[in-house]
Amino acid sequence: MKKIVVLTRKWPEAVEAALAQKYDVTLNESDQPFDAAKMRSTLASADAVLTTVTDKLDGSVFESNVIKAQIIGNYGVGYSHIDIEAAKANKVVVTNTPDVLSECTADLALTLMLMVTRRAGEGERQLRAGKWNGWRPTHMIGSRMTGKTLGIVGFGRIGRETAKRAHFGFGMPVIVFNRSKIDPEVLAETNATQVESIEALLSEADIVSLHCPGGDANTHLINVQRLALMKPTSFIINTARGEVIDEQALVNALQRNEIAGAGLDVFENEPTLSDGLAELENAVLLPHMGSSTRETRDQMGFRVIQNLDEYFANKKPGDQVA
């Protein structure tokens, strides 16, 4: 008998078809997120639940008399939306999908850097609104990215790929803050320097790019006090998790021109934005597109299938995080 697998959102067609060949799959045709009650009932009835960042699997959804699910296959790298300890307590394995989206997300980080430093979003809005009156020497003056110091917070796969693009593509010196010591050979790949504190990085960098995990340890890592350390000419980029930045504090700093701009692909209360954020011309806002290429989204799904196959073959999944 095939294992029962439930998808909490609509996935790429090729991935859904591949799952259906191997498993008894229930698809989410409406593509609406599960509420807590639906998630609890799914954990009680399925052998595997395939989740995304839009799902909230806190301790309450595991409070069921019977949990049938043996594995949660998360579609994405981050898993701070899953209560890992509650999953472990209920003997539910959790996997993620690292590696396959590193380059794609790094590409988007550089896209945000270019857009915010060169005021590309602001310029396009002006053009589409019919407000452009032609070229002139003082129009849309932005900031050059080449040669500026890039500060990277979190030097995992995505952080390293971002450093490569910035250093070799734009000649940017790279400084890094990471909670653990980084292998000198890894730093040498981009001639990067590890600094001892996030405060030192924020005060020195011209562009700060966040690539650290979400979760309690990093919630509001960038707060009022740390934003105040940044240069008034500096920019902050977030392709990590929305909760890493105190979003209202960022709005206030941007409104007061305490920093030059922000490029955000993730938000603290997705899909809701903090008051005032959408009105800021010095903020570039994208709808969580870091991994949104056809190639990457397919690869993420196939990586979930690989983890399922390994688990149900009584092997430890290669991407098991709990």
Catalytic machinery residues:
241, 270, 288
| Residues 56, 279 contacting (CB under 8 angstroms) | no
d(CA 310, CA 305): 9
Pairing of strands 261-264, 235-238: parallel
The number of angstroms, rounded, from the C-alpha of 266 to the middle of its chain's C-alpha atoms is 6
Q: Kindly calculate the radius of gyration of the chain based on its CA atoms and give it in whole angstroms.
A: 21
Sign for the CA dihedral angle at 316, 215, 218, 278 comes to positive
- Residue 73: which residues within 8 A CB-CB, separation 6 or more? 48, 49, 50, 51, 95, 304, 307, 308
The torsion defined by the Cα of 272, 104, 211 and 7, in degrees rounded to 10, comes to 50
**Cβ neighbour number for residue 300 with a 10 Å cutoff:** 25
d(CA 58, CA 65): 16
Task: Return the DSSP state at 59.
Answer: G
Task: Return the DSSP state at 191.
Answer: T
3-state secondary structure at position 208 = strand
Residue in this structure with the two tokens 């250093």, named with its chain if needed? 167
d(CA 122, CA 177): 31
